[in-house]
Amino acid sequence: MKLRVQVGLNIRNLRNSRGLSQEQLALAAEVDRSYISEIELAKFSASIDILEQIALALEVDPQELFNKRG
């Protein structure tokens, strides 16, 4: 699996496990909601800075976005 796809899935899973909508995550991470969608769908690669903002909004270590899951 491509890393971009893995990161998108991890963000979606972490967001859903916290009961957050894409809009809520986008507001907390200070990015556009459509950008969250595009990252989750692996349409775009996010910069390290954006991934760090998303991780902080999800209250996880940024490394969690890269971990392979089940």
Instruction: Work out the mean pLDDT of the chain and round it to a whole number.
Output: 95
Q: Residue 70: which pLDDT band, with cuts at 50, 70 and 90?
A: low
End-to-end alpha-carbon separation of the chain, Å? 12
In the CATH scheme, what is the code of domain 3-63? Answer: 1.10.260.40
Q: Helices 33-40 and 48-58, interaxial angle, to 10°?
A: 100
Query: In the chain, where are the structural domains located?
Result: 3-63
Q: Which residue has the tokens 């963000």?
A: 11
User: Residue 1: what pLDDT?
Assistant: 84
**pLDDT tens, 8-30?**
999 999 999 999 999 999 999 99
Give the HSE-up count for residue 14: Cα atoms under 13 Å, Cβ half-sphere: 26
Per-residue pLDDT for 5 more than 60? yes
User: 66: which residues sit within 8 A by CB, 6+ positions away?
Assistant: 3, 6, 7, 10
